Amino acid sequence: MEREPSPARSTLEPASRAWPLRAGDGSRSGGGVRMRPILPGIKLVFWFGLTKMTGMDTPFFRRLFSRPEKPAVETTETRAGHGDAEAQFSLGVKFAGEGAAQDYAQAIHWYLKAADQSHSLAQFNLAIMYAAGQGVPRDEAKSKVWMQKAADLGDAGAQFHIGMKHHRASLDGLPEAAPESRIQAYKWLQLAAAQGYRGSEAAWAFVALNMTREDVADGSRRIAAFVPARANQPQVA
């Protein structure tokens, strides 16, 4: 009896041994691994063999779609330690304030670091603390130096304070020194007034009442010639 020939195998139905394999579809039988075929006609975009990929701590698809890590945000203390003058000034303000964080010695420490980098507000605050003896022995000479540095940089508050000191000197000092003190007061108070510093315009006008026309002209020339000092230059009291 003749055996009927087996029907031809369709090219759409390849033998199971020729089908691609997927990791994890197999089961152990005997000593080997038997893999179940996927549905015919389906193509895999990503294919893995049975061998475990080594040298990769994170699966590739996680690394492919994972978001990049954000850089760590530096704290004020870190930036201050790296020489950031604004951060140093901020720490000075923190330690000079009221409450549990108050530490005048630390405030002086950070203000000095910022002031040495021509931070005018740090210089102004240093002058106030030296005048009051906060965190340091009271020292009018150092207070005057730092206040003058801040005024030279163009800080309106420092200019007002310098102007008022000259004004008081014109009233309390030697008569022969009074005209120069009034000219200096006129100059610094008007510079502060030009920046809108409170009280400076009224003080400037009051000083001008006791000045001669020549003194006013001299003061005006000094104002026109004023150029703020260059910032970011090391300054030592």
Per residue in 142-184, pLDDT (tens digit) is: 999 999 999 999 999 999 999 999 999 999 988 889 999 999 9
**For helices 178-194 and 200-208, angle between their N-to-C axes, nearest 10 degrees:** 150
Q: How far apart are the first and last CA of the chain?
A: 120
Q: How much is the pLDDT for 232? A: 57
Q: How much is the pLDDT for 13? A: 43
- Measured distance CA(197)–CA(124) in Å, rounded: 14
Q: How much is the pLDDT for 99? A: 84
What is the CATH number for 197? 1.25.40.10
The answer to whether residues 54 and 83 belong to one domain is no
- Measured distance CA(234)–CA(86) in Å, rounded: 15
Splitting the chain (237 residues) into consecutive groups of 10 residues, what average pLDDT does each group show? 50 41 42 47 45 50 58 82 93 90 94 96 97 96 97 97 96 91 97 96 95 96 94 50
Per residue in 68-82, pLDDT (tens digit) is: 666 667 899 899 999
Residue range(s) defining the domain that contains residue 96: 76-225
The answer to whether residues 61 and 84 belong to one domain is no
Structural domain contains residue 3: no
- Measured distance CA(103)–CA(95) in Å, rounded: 5
The answer to whether residues 131 and 209 belong to one domain is yes
The answer to whether residues 60 and 98 belong to one domain is no
pTM, two decimals, is: 0.67
- Residue in 15, 39, 35 with CA at minimum distance from that of residue 24: 35
- Measured distance CA(131)–CA(134) in Å, rounded: 8
The answer to whether residues 97 and 48 belong to one domain is no
The answer to whether residues 99 and 205 belong to one domain is yes
| 155 neighbors 191 (Cβ within 8 angstroms) | no
The answer to whether residues 134 and 177 belong to one domain is yes
The answer to whether residues 139 and 190 belong to one domain is yes
Q: How much is the pLDDT for 66? A: 60
Structural domain contains residue 4: no
Total domains present in the chain: 2
